Amino acid sequence: MLLGQAVGAAASGSVSAGAIAFGLLFTVFDGVFIVLLNDWADRDIDGLKRRLLPAAGSPKTIPDGVLTAPSVLVAGAVAGAAAAVTAFAAEAWLGRPGLGWVGLGCVAVFLAYSFPPLRLNYRGGGELLEALGVGLALPWFNAYAQSGRAAGPELWVLSGYATASLASAVASGLGDEVSDRAGGKRTLVTLLGNALARRLSERLVFFAAAVWVVVALFVPDLTARLAMNCASIAMFYGCYRLSNVSPGATTHAYPEQGIYKLVLHRTIWGSGLLLAILQLVGALVRAG
């Protein structure tokens, strides 16, 4: 959300408080919608994991009785409806034609991820859809809300973040490898195995940093170029840290997998946050 808002502010040369407010509301509602309905859609396979591995991994919302299945479904559906309403309200308030439909598109990406008829999280391709939603669609929604520009060279910044988001999506399946394979779920971890999936995540993070370096060469704005180069340095450093903790994150090594994913997420979020802050500072300086 912050990265998209920063990209939009850098493109427009100004900062809209209304766009930030609507972007934050949409992001929160969309996030709650995704988290809760994903738990509801995965309740059977989460239950299988708990039966196979009673003490493994983090608590499972429905099988472990954190929340009941009906309450998760209702709350998730309400959050999704609130996200859609927020998107259309932002379109009208900010004067951004089509922003409501973009918001619905973000909601639809998740539905294709977890629900029939596509249900790509189970049939294969869920990682690509997750990267599309988190790494591209959500920041693009916020960038458009902030700037009113549906397209422009500034959006190439998102290419590196989308690539890093794919790395996160691949790694998210590490802890569920055994139960996903037993339940017939097709993820890159179940197809490639633990070691190759980790290697793929690490290569994607490195590639994301390299993408920012290359894109920066073609960005005329000095502030944006500096921001991308600084973010790429942070991402490259994260690659180094990730390689140090990777050997221990094998199948069944759940605490080590948690450390591995923590380092990965800090690398992605930290680099993205640094990029957003530098772009926002540049936009504020230009705005006077």
What are the mean pLDDT values of the chain's consecutive 10-residue runs (288 residues total)?
91 88 97 93 84 75 87 95 96 95 92 87 89 93 92 86 94 88 89 95 96 88 84 94 94 91 95 90 72
Q: How far apart are CA 119 and CA 124, in angstroms?
A: 8
Q: How far apart are CA 46 and CA 218, in angstroms?
A: 46
pLDDT, position 175: 87
The tokens for 278 are 């530098």
The tokens for 33 are 């919608």
pLDDT, position 288: 63
The tokens for 34 are 């995704």
pLDDT, position 274: 93
Q: How far apart are CA 256 and CA 248, in angstroms?
A: 6
Residue tagged 């959050």 (tokens): 79
Which contiguous run of DSSP H or E holds residue 232?
helix 222-245
Q: What separation in angstroms does the CA of 75 have from each of 31, 61, 64, 71, 115?
A: 12, 13, 18, 6, 17
pLDDT, position 264: 96
Q: How far apart are CA 3 and CA 147, in angstroms?
A: 13
Q: What separation in angstroms does the CA of 55 have from each of 46, 81, 91, 143, 254?
A: 13, 35, 47, 42, 10
